[in-house]
Amino acid sequence: MLRRIMKQIRPFLLLVSLLLAARCMAADRPNVIYILSDDVGYGDIGCYGANQVKTPNLDRLAREGLRFTDAHATASVCTPTRFAFMTGRYAWRQPGTGIAAGNATLLIPVGTPTVASVLKAAGYRTGIVGKWHLGLGETPPDFNREIKPGPNELGFDYSFIIPATGDRTPCVFVEDRFVVGLDPKDPIAVSYGQRIGSDPTGVERPDLLKIKAGPGHGQAIINGISRIGYMTGGQKARWVDEDIADTLTKKAVAFIERQKAGQPFFLYLAPHDIHEPMVPHPRFRGTSGCGWRGDVIHQLDWSVGEVLAALDRLGLAQDTLVIFTSDNGGAIKNTYDDGTNDLHAKQPPNGVLRGFKGALYEGGNRVPFLARWPGRIPAGGESAALMAHLDTLPMLAALAGQKIPAGGSPDGVNVLAALLGEKGAKGRETLVLQNNHQAPLALRVGTWKLIQRPNGSSELYDLASDLKEEHDLAARETERVKTMTAQLAAERAKSGG
């Protein structure tokens, strides 16, 4: 009798064991959503001290996860930061990785191990939605044809991208190698040198603009906003700035909804917000009291909230690691004038930190970094571990149990223990920082920071007692300056730089 019962229930027991095994695998290898926002400063979020704008969804991540206080973009501008994040390699090691034009060629050689390719090899379904800004194609891309190589050749199964930035042409979305909504009878042409077409520019016709712009952003007019670079054609494919956040958010949620049970996924979500031109959807305008800059912070927080809501609705929150950070420090920009510029500074971008986007001071590269994984990362905690975006590849590879191919992530450090909030985890020991150039650079060793000046001299700060970088100790700590200068030179020599 017992044997007969066991025979009957054996298929059920097998099914239960398989489900439990799948659940254990999901618990050990979570889904990963990495949200890399644009130009959000260390002080722009409520949980980091912002007292003007409201960020309830980001604050929820901090409340339900871990808030890092010494996390850094390896560069204080976008392209080199994104290069380092993707490859685990300092961008200053590779010439030509400064802020990329909208028609730049692909900056990461095909075959380079990336966050996406390593996780894909581990069985993850991979996708990118949002800002790319790492170039496309082997030659300047023809946006009227299949565009490759690009994200899909670097490990992403799905891509829906802004080729460069919101203030650069072409102002179109590219989905899996093709411009979205392009009419073949209205081909796109892009130029960053010689003027093309007969359309007026922003400098020539300021009366056609919905927001004013200076000469640096005074070329092609798209959606009433003048840009960097010239563009003709593609009228039906051009984005509407006010709708970019909605479009990217919907695409991100749709990617999550398409995933198959039992297969983990990796989503790299790169919002345009809060990069210029800051043009919030009308439903967010006036909500912050800090002008359109504060309003797009609210818009960004809404986007994050939609992603979290999707995870809750689909029952995926427990099995998903969500990371939020920014590609560099914040800034009060005056490139565009939306009519509310006098209100932007009511929300100080970087709190007490010195400097802004583009600087080697902490305001240029110390960024918010939040991590939530219910049940695995302690809720409501804070970590002072030193970490950087270029640590993402080795960290997530370790999480997925995947070996990095030879030569991959030469500068990344596996800081998984710190990410998980393990007791005593300290993160990395040293870190090299850049602005938009290969030199000068800055070096962190513990709490000490050496900044090279363009003239060859140096500044030295002890961030443990001087987070504002007000007291230059270089003249007093001459031996430390000498030692750290030699360390930085040795680090540069590894790449022949």
- Model confidence pTM above 0.85: yes
| Segment 226-247 mean pLDDT | 98
Q: Specify the CATH class of 439-497 in words.
A: alpha beta
- Among candidate residues 24, 47, 72, 78, the one labeled active-site is 78
49 Ramachandran zone, left/alpha/beta (phi>0; psi -120 to 50): left
Q: Give the pLDDT band (50/70/90) at residue 214.
A: confident
- Lateral strand order in the sheet of 31-37: 178-179, 174-175, 158-162, 125-131, 265-270, 31-37, 320-326, 369-372, 66-68, 381-383
Model confidence over 263-312: pLDDT tens digits? 999 999 999 999 999 999 999 999 999 999 999 999 999 999 999 999 99
pLDDT tens column, 195-209: 999 999 999 999 999
Respond yes or no: is residue 344 known to be catalytic.
Answer: no
Q: Annotated catalytic residue: which of 47, 72, 133, 171? A: 133
CATH: 3.40.720.10, 3.30.830.10, 3.40.50.300, 3.40.50.2300. Which one for 30-188+233-426?
3.40.720.10
Banded pLDDT at 476 (limits 50, 70, 90)? very high
133 annotated active-site: yes
Q: Is 328 exposed, middle or buried (0-12, 13-18, 19+ CB in 10 A)?
A: buried
Domain boundaries, the chain: 30-188+233-426, 439-497
